[in-house]
Structure 1
């Protein structure tokens, strides 16, 4: 995961001993993250309840499902563990997770949504949650709740490790499970063979690279505009 500068955490306005309105342990952060986790669990339970026999393996092969599960884990961790007890790579992990889930929503609504769905709320509940509401709420979490440590944008490319691994996994798994692929833009049959996938795959990598850089830059901008270094430990002063 992307490493971060250890120049220290930050303390927002509000004075010692007071949790800032938008601090990591503020009621805003806890409420927002609690809501996201609950909605994520509801969506996934709904999906599992509708799965047919033998459908679990293909279900978890979707990037959407894996990313939404990652959201539950990372923000659940943020709820249960205060900043001072988290590892230094937590903020980069949170940034990577934000990149994945936001791009999941963007790519779905632009490439996969049914005609007219983009401007409609008449969508299957779990689909609405995982592809629209949760990505929006996680984006708000990233914009509202500052990171505890400044991110090194020079190493944002490490965030691409998971999407690239997912692409490789999907292409290897497809022929082994009856030539099945979770998305049409990863199906070699749609492009005349594996060679035809070069353009869509490179396009996806570029999209994720740009997305990772933008998310990291916004995280650092939020850090600069709301906080100041307070200690060498890098722990967020809000508990």
Structure 2
């Protein structure tokens, strides 16, 4: 097993096993979902419109990339990995707090796809983020607004779709009809967005704190300043 003084590497046996578990479990859960969608006559556009599905598909793409190419990835890959980790962890938290019943959130009666996509993968991806340091230090001040772009765009497009296109809105906390008007969505959506800001900041800070240089990568000279990092 390949290790360093500050953590495991992409080639470590434990890490490869963890990521392989994420990949296989995630694929099987989504195949299960698609079979269910076809059997129940649900529109595929609605299924793919859920943040849970989108974040899990992103996880599968990123994990497959890490397994296939453990070294020599682009400079921006650490940021992509961090954003993906933040999205999937927050997917699990929002589901447990806002969407699931207490029995689902705390019990073991949840269906397999939901268990994998809302519980197993968020936990394993958080563990992966803790175990394997990034190749380059993250700029926390840049990560927060950059990583928030997708959740904000998702929110806006959900309202556009619900109000101007087919009328479908993925989640109750985004639905004006549930809350008595668009103005009443300030509190529920504001809470979710705040949770994303805090969660994204924590993931970025942990990634920054866990960073250590890899072999072949020159340790850069730190720069002082808000949001500054030791690399460009």
TM-score over 0.5 for the pair? yes
Name the structure, 1 or 2, with higher relative contact order (CA <8 Å, separation 6+). Answer: 1
Per the shorter chain, which TM-score range?
Answer: 0.7 to 0.9
- Residue 110 of structure 2 aligns to a residue whose secondary structure is coil
Q: Which residue of 1 aligns with 2:115?
A: 128
My pick for the range that moved more, 100-109 or 112-121, is 112-121
- Residue 158 of structure 2 aligns to a residue whose secondary structure is helix
Q: Which residue of 1 aligns with 2:63?
A: 75
The answer to whether structure 1 residue 49 and structure 2 residue 35 are counterparts is: yes
Q: Which residue of 1 aligns with 2:50?
A: 62
- Residue 116 of structure 1 aligns to a residue whose secondary structure is helix
The answer to whether structure 1 residue 223 and structure 2 residue 194 are counterparts is: no
Quick check: 1:43–1:130 contact (8 Å CA) kept in 2?
A: yes
Matches within 5 A, 1:16-55: 22-51=8-37, 52-55=40-43
Match of 1:140 among 104, 114, 127: 127
What whole-Å deviation, never above 9, does each CA across 1:35-89 have from its counterpart, x for those lacking one?
10111101100000011335211000000000000000001101111322x1111
Match of 2:140 among 123, 144, 153: 153
- Provide the rounded CA distance (Å) in 1 between the counterparts of 2:202 and 2:19: 22
TM-score, reference length from structure 1:
0.84
Match of 1:203 among 184, 191, 194: 191
Assess, with a 3 A threshold, how the Cα gap between structure 1 residues 112 and 93 changes in structure 2: closer, same or farther: same
Instruction: Structure 1: give runs of 5+ residues left out of the alignment.
Output: 1-10, 14-19, 235-239
- Provide the rounded CA distance (Å) in 1 between the counterparts of 2:105 and 2:125: 19
Task: Give how far 1:127 is off.
Answer: 0.7
Quick check: 2:7–2:132 contact (8 Å CA) kept in 1?
A: no
Aligned length: 215
Task: Give how far 1:174 is off.
Answer: 1.0
Q: Which residue of 1 aligns with 2:77?
A: 90
Quick check: 1:24–1:146 contact (8 Å CA) kept in 2?
A: no
Task: Give how far 1:199 is off.
Answer: 2.0
Quick check: 1:12–1:228 contact (8 Å CA) kept in 2?
A: no
Task: Give how far 1:207 is off.
Answer: 1.0
Deviating 4+ runs (over 6 angstroms)? none
- Residue 83 of structure 1 aligns to a residue whose secondary structure is coil
- Provide the rounded CA distance (Å) in 2 between the counterparts of 1:187 and 1:106: 20
TM-score, reference length from structure 2:
0.86
Q: Which residue of 1 aligns with 2:93?
A: 106
Assess, with a 3 A threshold, how the Cα gap between structure 1 residues 229 and 76 changes in structure 2: closer, same or farther: closer
Assess, with a 3 A threshold, how the Cα gap between structure 1 residues 96 and 21 changes in structure 2: closer, same or farther: closer
Match of 1:186 among 162, 174, 177: 174
Quick check: 2:103–2:109 contact (8 Å CA) kept in 1?
A: no
Quick check: 2:8–2:15 contact (8 Å CA) kept in 1?
A: yes
